[in-house]
């Protein structure tokens, strides 16, 4: 199955496409483990655990499993995580076995009147179970520190793609300074491997409260704080759609602050960029006035621009330049509406414009109480924003 | 055993509780009391009431999450439920019930007649009680009395700037803040009291190193409470200044800092976890020896481990902030400090194991819960180590894995130990035994429910399910797991109802306990059940850590080994 086909599948079958993709990527990933970590004992142990983890996760078929990793930061966190899981499981097995043995072996008999021998302590034994944990801690710490520094302080490649992501109450805003693009909710980045591949560096900040940017298959989460910029990076190994969601409680609709990341091949990405750079225009052609009965994009645009829509939304190249809500310039290039809350179909779009609160109660776009005709007109216009 | 009371070193006389007054007089006597035992019982009953309320909130949330896309609760209602559930369970249940046991037991175990400052003690209780009323009044008063009821909905750690006026208008946040301030004052009062009691009120012969483990752990816990509650109280005051006096400590729109609140909150919040778990360690260290019929293994190491857990826990708070954007060195430091807590914690666990070793373990209800506690605490500790691995925590942070981990600590360890303690000391407090048959039902149902819920809850976390969400997408693969988790929650609820029934039923109909039903060794068992208001007719004199052992085994006293 080629990537393009997968992307089609995504659009056609919103709910299951990511699952499909996930199975495929898990399978592919088994053969493409990074060479680096298999050189050490830690690495091979982790590799073993990774396999076990993969089996378990393949069962659950979750597109957000932290075990089906598709970029270096996610691989590395995963390896260290599984290494720790193995050590902890071993400790658990030993101690739980001892406890279980003691529970069983030393249970009181029925007719036993005598108190058992009283033992008050033993220096040697106690020293041993102090020193052994200290050694384990040292090992775990060193292993963690290595991963930690290698991810967090990785040098940025010169050709990295820089993006700024801004968290808003219940949606995401993206800036691509290199291309002068502003978009929302659905992030497009290039795959990092192969010819023309690029690593993506994302600066994270927030316009209101704390959010957290989390796409498990690509890496751990990083918080978005107002008045502060954090940075993280991904080097996706495989094209596809990856999902995640806001990881820090941010208010009423935290649950529907979903994330979709489209990892494109270099060609797809270039095409997408070209599309996003196009400006829209004022469609003056057949406009009579905004009270017109006709349902067409030009009338729709006038209605849109005469409502308060444009206080909150921008359509680049037109008078609409609001910044409170998502940029709508290329709305129709998105698969979903409302930060992944619903699929972007004409019916859903109209229903959203009528009353977004039916999909995301508590979200910051109010129901506009327009007439059905006006909604149809606006929807007709929005559908031209390709 | 049974009816006989043991005089401790020199003709101690005990009396039964004073005869009953009239109904109103009885209530009055509770309201004006400064008796540590009555206050202790009031703390415990108050906390159990809130345990039921907080539990109900949890069940409502679990119904909503049982399947993807349900509409059982409104989003906002769900958000209120988890905020209230967390705040209730930590401040109104955890703190209160542990202070209740501390109040009741510490003076009795060290042979004192009351706490060091009885009036401060009553004041602290009523302040903490006020906190519960304030918090729950927000359901009525949050948007003004005439408006619809509401409640705080910014999560129990109330991250700024979500709590600022711009994002949380209305008064629910204010009720939350003031409730925590009141509760904090109560907690600080009680901590001072416990510290003063432990250090100044010990009976003759009870050196610090002869003190039972429980008062030791309460002393450590009180010391931590003093240090931890202060930053919380300061932060609450700052938040109120922001909200009402135009301050901008946390008001990011005016240049304030969101991270500042996080630091304040967690420098309280992490020690708080140990504030809650240390008393449970103390209870385990009393109950496990008695039911293994052996002295606690390695007492000096146990004391040292407890105190060092207290100290280390002051330096681990930012492990709640690994994703907030600390430097790599910051992350490394807090990884190491957090892992280090594992060492003294391990020592404690191994010493309990060694206490069991070679003993004759009696599986009465307190011991059943204590045994489950040991295994569950082991697991909770190990998942804690996993979370301390900062790089991996970037994935696990704020996921259901974390929710599972801390419920393993709070329920699997602390609540199990509290049930154990209630079975163990209920006879002392009321003079009657709890029914053992009901206890078994309670134990097995709660155990099954607990494991169904919290074992499975780790998995959606690993599959990327974040906490605080009122619903989730069907394609994520979390549905079945969540259904089972919810079923486990309901089973736990039923078990708790059985327990509540048992408490009420046994209060009137339970078998009489006598002063020393468990054939135990510490001083609280040397006096009547329930103890007279003055506890001990004469000051007991002790010659070892287990004064009643010495009395029961004059041929083989502990005092010969010290
Ligand atoms: Cu958010």
Task: Show the 3-state SS of A287-315.
Answer: CCCCCCCCCCHHHHHHHHHHCCHHHHCEC
Q: What is the pLDDT of residue B12?
A: 44
Rounded distance from Cα A168 to ligand 1 centre (Å): 7
Domain of A237, CATH number, reads: 2.60.40.420
- pLDDT reading at A346 higher than 70: yes
Chain B contact for A338 (CB, 8 A cutoff): no
Contacts of A249 in chain B (CB under 8 A): 79, 154-155, 159, 162, 467-468
Which of A102, A145, A212 has its CB closest to that of B357? Answer: A102
To 10 degrees, the CA torsion angle through B107, B113, B116, B120? 100
Angle between helix B436-462 and helix B416-430 axes, rounded to 10 deg: 160
Q: Quick one: pLDDT at residue B523?
A: 92
**Banded pLDDT at A205 (limits 50, 70, 90):** very high
Chain B 266-305, residues with CB within 8 Å of chain A CB atoms = 292-295, 297-301
Q: Is B10 on the interface with A (CB under 8 A)?
A: no
| Domain co-membership, A50 together with A143 | yes
Is B333 near chain A, with CB under 8 Å? no
Q: Are residues A258 and A304 in the same domain?
A: no
Whether the Cβ atoms of residue A287 and residue A371 lie closer than 8 Å to each other: no
Among A20-34, A287-301, B90-104, B194-208, the minimum mean pLDDT is found in A20-34
* Closest residue in B to A63 (Cα–Cα): B476
DSSP H or E segment with residue A184: strand A181-184
CB B235 within 8 A of CB B242: no
Burial class (CB in 10 A: 0-12, 13-18, 19+), B247: middle
pLDDT, position B143: 62
User: Does one domain contain both A182 and A247?
Assistant: yes
Report which DSSP code applies to B315.
G
pLDDT at A24: 38
Predicted local confidence at residue A42, as pLDDT: 54
Q: Are A177 and A219 members of one domain?
A: yes
The owner of tokens 């709305």 is A331
Residue of B nearest to A21 (CA): B475
A5: pLDDT strictly greater than 50: no
Spatial neighbors of A206 by CB under 8 A, at least 6 apart, are A166, A167, A168, A224, A225, A226
| Statement to judge: residues A211 and A308 lie in one domain | no
The H-or-E segment that residue A248 falls in is none
Q: In terms of domains, do A87 and A213 share one?
A: no
Helix orientation angle between A123-152 and A72-105, rounded to the nearest 10 degrees = 160
User: What confidence score (pLDDT) does residue A31 get?
Assistant: 37
Confirm if B47 and B103 have CB atoms less than 8 A apart. no
Confidence of residue A62 (pLDDT cuts 50, 70, 90): confident
Chain B 13-42, residues with CB within 8 Å of chain A CB atoms? none
The tokens of B494 are what? 């039923």
Residues of A in contact with B356 (CB under 8 A): 99, 102-103, 106
- pLDDT, position B2: 40
- Residues 255-274 on A with a CB inside 8 Å of B are 255-256, 258
pLDDT score of A11 = 35
Q: How far apart are CA B422 and CA B498, in angstroms?
A: 14
Selection from B109, B103, B105 nearest residue B121 by Cα:
B103
**CA B103, CA B39: separation in Å to the nearest integer?**
7
Give the integer Cα–Cα distance in Å for B384 and B398: 13
- Cβ–Cβ gap B464/A121 under 8 Å: no
* Number of domains, chain A: 3
Residues on chain A touching B555 (C-beta within 8 angstroms)? none
Over the stretch A98-147, which tens digit does the pLDDT of each residue have? 999 999 988 887 766 788 888 888 888 888 888 999 999 999 999 999 99
Mean pLDDT of chain A: 83
In angstroms, what separates the C-alpha of A179 from chain B's closest C-alpha? 27
Instruction: Compute the CA torsion angle A83, A86, A91, A94 (nearest 10 deg).
Output: -150
More confidently predicted of A60 and B220: B220
What's the count of helices (H) and strands (E) in chain A, helices before strands? 10, 12
Task: Please compute the mean of the pLDDT values over residues A161-166 and round it to a whole number.
Answer: 95
Mean pLDDT of A170-197: 92
The sign one gets for the Cα dihedral A145, A150, A151, A155 is positive
Q: What does each C-alpha distance from B231 to B241, B262, B326 come to in angstroms?
A: 15, 11, 20
Structural tokens at position B402: 């974390």
Give the Cα separation of A176 and B30 in Å (integer).
68
Given this model, what pLDDT does residue B537 score? 87
In this complex, is the C-beta atom of B497 within 8 Å of any C-beta atom belonging to chain A?
no
pLDDT at B149: 54
Question: A53 or B96: which carries more pLDDT confidence?
Answer: B96
**Does residue A344 belong to any structural domain of this protein?**
yes
Shortest Cα distance from A282 to chain B (angstroms)?
35
The partner residues of A204 in beta bridges, in order of sequence, read: A165, A230
B392 → closest Cβ in A81, A137, A244: A81
From B301, B395, B472, residue closest to A216, measured CB to CB:
B395
Give the closest of A64, A106, A120 to B356, CB-based: A106
Q: Is residue A118 part of a domain?
A: no
The interface residues of chain A toward chain B in range 105-134, judged by CB-CB distance below 8 A, are: 106-109, 112, 115-122, 125-126, 129-130, 133-134
The DSSP line for B203-215 is -BT--GGGS-HHH
Which of A61, A137, A212 shows the shortest C-beta gap to B477?
A: A61
Those of residues 200-229 in A touching chain B at CB distance below 8 A are 208-210, 212, 214, 216, 219-223, 225-228
Tell me whether residues B252 and A92 touch, CB distance under 8 A: no
Residue B84, C-beta contacts closer than 8 angstroms, at least 6 positions apart = B54, B57, B135, B151, B152
B551 vs A: CB within 8 A:
no
Q: Are residues A131 and A22 in the same domain?
A: yes
Q: Are residues A321 and A251 in the same domain?
A: no
In this structure, the answer to whether residues A61 and A133 fall within a common structural domain is: yes
Query: Are the beta carbons of B360 and A112 closer than 8 angstroms?
Result: yes
Taking the Cβ of residue A104 and every Cβ of chain B, the question of whether any pair is shorter than 8 Å is answered with no
Helix%, strand%, coil% for chain B, nearest 5: 70, 0, 30
Report how far apart, in Å, the C-alpha atoms of A247 and of each of A68, A80, A96, A170, B552 are: 19, 21, 34, 12, 59
Euclidean distance between CA atoms A250 and A161, whole angstroms: 28
Q: A132 and A8 share a domain?
A: yes
Q: Can you give the pLDDT at residue A35?
A: 36
Architecture of domain B38-552: Up-down Bundle (1.20)
Task: Say whether B325 and A222 touch across the interface (CB within 8 A).
Answer: yes
Check B356 against A118: CB less than 8 A apart: no
**Which of B383, B475, B550 is the mutation pick for testing A, counting most A CBs within 10 A?**
B475
Q: Would you call B553 an interface residue with chain A, using a CB distance cutoff of 8 Å?
A: yes
Residues A305, B104: Cα–Cα separation, whole Å: 70
Q: What is the pLDDT of residue A18?
A: 38
Q: Where do the structural domains in chain B lie, given as residue ranges?
A: 38-552
Q: Is residue A284 part of a domain?
A: no
**pLDDT score at B208:** 92
Alpha-carbon gap: A94 to the closest alpha carbon of chain B (Å): 11
H or E stretch including B542? Answer: none
Distance CA A219, CA A189 (A): 14
pLDDT at A285 over 70: no
Selected residues 229-248 of chain A with any CB under 8 Å from a CB in chain B: 230, 243-248
Which residues of chain B from 109 to 128 reach within 8 Å of chain A, CB to CB?
Answer: none
Residue A290 included in any domain: no
Residue A33 lies in a domain: yes
Minimum CA–CA partner of B65 in chain A: A255
CB atoms within 10 A of CB B19: 5
Enclosing domain of residue A307 = 297-382
CB atoms within 10 A of CB B493: 18
At A52 the pLDDT is 53
Query: Are A136 and A37 found together in one domain?
Result: yes
More confident residue, B148 or A341: A341
Same domain for A79 and A46? yes
Among A128, A221, A232, A244, most B C-beta atoms within 10 A, so best to mutate, is A221
Q: Are strands A336-337 and A342-343 parallel, antiparallel or unpaired?
A: antiparallel
Q: List alpha helices for B201-327, DSSP H.
A: 213-245, 258-292, 299-312
The answer to whether residue A96 sits within a structural domain is yes
> Which B-chain residues 436-475 have CB contacts (< 8 A) with chain A?
459, 462-475
**Per-residue confidence in pLDDT tens, chain B, 562 aa:** 344 455 554 434 444 445 556 888 888 889 999 999 999 999 999 999 999 999 999 999 999 999 998 899 888 889 999 999 999 999 999 999 999 999 999 999 999 999 999 999 999 999 999 999 999 988 876 664 444 557 888 888 899 899 988 888 888 888 899 999 999 999 999 999 999 999 999 998 899 999 999 999 999 999 999 999 999 999 999 999 999 998 989 999 888 999 999 999 999 999 999 999 999 999 999 999 999 999 999 899 999 999 999 999 999 999 999 999 999 999 999 999 999 999 999 999 999 999 999 888 999 999 999 999 999 999 999 999 999 999 999 999 999 999 999 999 999 999 999 999 999 999 999 999 999 999 999 999 999 999 999 999 999 999 999 999 999 988 888 888 899 999 999 999 999 999 999 999 999 999 998 888 998 999 999 998 899 989 988 888 888 888 888 888 888 888 777 6
| φ and ψ of B115, to 5 deg | -70, 170
Helix (H, G, I), strand (E, B) or coil at A261: strand
Provide the whole-model pTM: 0.89
């Amino acid at each position: 199955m080629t990537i393009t086909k997968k992307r089609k599948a995504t659009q056609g079958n919103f709910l299951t496409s990511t699952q499909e993709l996930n199975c495929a990527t898990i399978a592919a990933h088994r053969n493409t483990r990074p060479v680096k970590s298999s050189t050490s004992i830690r690495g091979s142990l982790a590799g073993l655990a990774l396999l076990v983890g993969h089996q378990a996760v393949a069962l659950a078929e979750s597109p957000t499993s932290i075990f089906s990793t598709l970029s270096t930061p996610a691989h590395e966190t995963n390896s260290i995580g599984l290494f720790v899981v193995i050590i902890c499981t071993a400790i658990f097995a030993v101690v739980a076995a001892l406890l279980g043995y003691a529970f069983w072996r030393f249970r009181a008999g029925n007719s036993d009147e005598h108190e058992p021998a009283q033992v008050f302590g033993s220096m040697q034994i106690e020293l041993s179970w102090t020193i052994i944990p200290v050694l384990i801690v040292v090992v775990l710490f060193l292993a963690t520190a290595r991963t930690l520094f290698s991810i967090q302080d990785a040098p940025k490649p010169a050709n990295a793609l820089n993006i700024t992501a801004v968290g808003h109450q219940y949606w995401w805003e993206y800036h691509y300074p290199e291309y002068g693009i502003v978009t929302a909710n659905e992030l497009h980045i290039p795959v990092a491997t192969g010819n023309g591949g690029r690593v993506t560096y994302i600066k994270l900040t927030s316009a209101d409260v704390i959010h957290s940017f989390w796409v498990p298959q690509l890496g751990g989460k990083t918080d978005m704080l107002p008045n502060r910029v954090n940075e993280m990076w991904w080097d996706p190994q495989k094209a596809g759609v990856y999902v995640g969601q806001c990881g820090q409680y941010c208010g009423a609709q935290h649950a529907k602050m979903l994330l979709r990341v489209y990892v494109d091949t270099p060609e797809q990405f270039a095409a997408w960029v070209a599309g996003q750079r196009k400006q829209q225009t004022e469609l003056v052609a057949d406009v009579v006035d905004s009270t017109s009965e006709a349902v067409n994009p030009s009338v729709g645009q006038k209605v849109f621009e005469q409502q308060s829509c444009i206080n909150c939304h921008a359509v680049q190249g037109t008078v609409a330049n609001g910044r409170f809500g998502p940029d709508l310039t290329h709305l129709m290039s998105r698969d979903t509406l409302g930060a992944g809350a619903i699929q972007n179909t004409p019916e859903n779009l109209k229903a959203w414009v009528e009353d977004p609160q039916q999909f995301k109660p508590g979200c910051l776009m109010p129901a506009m109480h327009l007439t059905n005709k006006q909604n149809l007109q606006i929807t007709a216009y929005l559908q031209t924003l390709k | 055993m049974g009816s006989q009371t043991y005089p401790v070193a020199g003709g101690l006389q005990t009396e039964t509780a004073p005869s009953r007054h009239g109904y109103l007089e009885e209530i009055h006597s509770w309201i004006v009391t400064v008796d540590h035992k009555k206050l202790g019982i009031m703390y415990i009953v108050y906390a159990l009431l809130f345990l039921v309320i907080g539990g109900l909130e949890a069940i409502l949330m679990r119904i909503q999450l049982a399947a993807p896309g349900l509409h059982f609760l409104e989003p906002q209602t769900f958000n209120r439920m988890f905020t209230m559930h967390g705040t209730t369970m930590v401040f109104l249940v955890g703190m209160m019930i542990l202070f209740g046991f501390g109040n009741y037991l510490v003076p009795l175990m060290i042979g004192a007649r009351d706490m060091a400052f009885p009036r401060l003690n009553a004041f602290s209780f009523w302040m903490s009680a006020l906190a519960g009323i304030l918090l729950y009044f927000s359901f009525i008063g949050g948007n003004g009395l005439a408006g619809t009821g509401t409640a705080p909905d910014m999560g129990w750690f109330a991250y700024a700037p979500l709590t600022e006026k711009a994002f949380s208008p209305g008064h629910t946040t204010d009720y939350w803040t003031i409730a925590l301030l009141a509760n904090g004052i109560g907690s600080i009062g009680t901590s001072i009291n416990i510290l003063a009691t432990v250090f100044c009120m010990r009976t003759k012969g009870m050196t610090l190193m002869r003190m039972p483990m429980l008062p030791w752990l309460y002393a450590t816990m009180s010391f931590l409470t003093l240090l931890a509650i202060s930053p919380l109280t300061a932060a609450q005051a700052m938040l109120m200044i922001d909200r009402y006096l135009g301050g901008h400590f946390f008001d990011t729109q005016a240049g304030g800092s969101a991270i500042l609140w996080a630091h304040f909150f967690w420098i309280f919040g992490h020690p708080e976890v140990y504030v809650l778990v240390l008393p449970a360690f103390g209870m385990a260290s009393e109950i496990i020896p008695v039911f293994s019929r052996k002295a606690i293994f390695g007492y000096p190491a146990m004391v040292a481990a407890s105190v060092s857990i207290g100290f280390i826990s002051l330096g681990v708070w930012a492990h709640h902030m690994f994703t907030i954007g600390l430097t790599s060195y910051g992350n490394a430091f807090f990884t190491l400090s957090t892992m280090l807590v594992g060492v003294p914690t391990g020592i404690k666990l191994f010493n309990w194991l060694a206490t069991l070793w070679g003993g004759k373990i009696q599986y009465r209800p307190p011991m059943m819960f204590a045994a489950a506690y040991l295994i569950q605490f082991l697991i909770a500790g190990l998942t804690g180590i996993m979370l301390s691995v900062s790089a991996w925590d970037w994935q696990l942070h704020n996921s259901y894995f974390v929710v599972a981990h801390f419920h393993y600590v709070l329920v699997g360890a602390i609540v199990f130990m509290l049930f154990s303690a209630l079975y163990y000391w209920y006879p002392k407090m009321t003079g009657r035994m709890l029914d053992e048959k009901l206890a078994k039902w309670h134990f097995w149902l709660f155990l099954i429910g607990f494991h169904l819920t919290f074992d499975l809850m780790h998995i959606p976390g690993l599959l990327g399910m974040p906490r605080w969400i009122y619903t989730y997408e069907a394609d994520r693969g979390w549905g079945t797991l969540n259904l089972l988790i919810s079923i486990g929650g309901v089973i736990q609820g039923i078990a708790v109802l059985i327990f509540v029934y048992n408490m009420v039923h046994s209060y009137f109909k339970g078998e009489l306990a006598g002063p020393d039903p468990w054939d135990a060794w510490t001083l609280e068992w040397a006096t009547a059940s329930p103890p007279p208001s003055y506890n001990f007719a004469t000051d007991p004199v002790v010659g070892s850590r287990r004064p009643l052992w010495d009395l029961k085994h004059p041929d083989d006293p502990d005092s010969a080994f010290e």
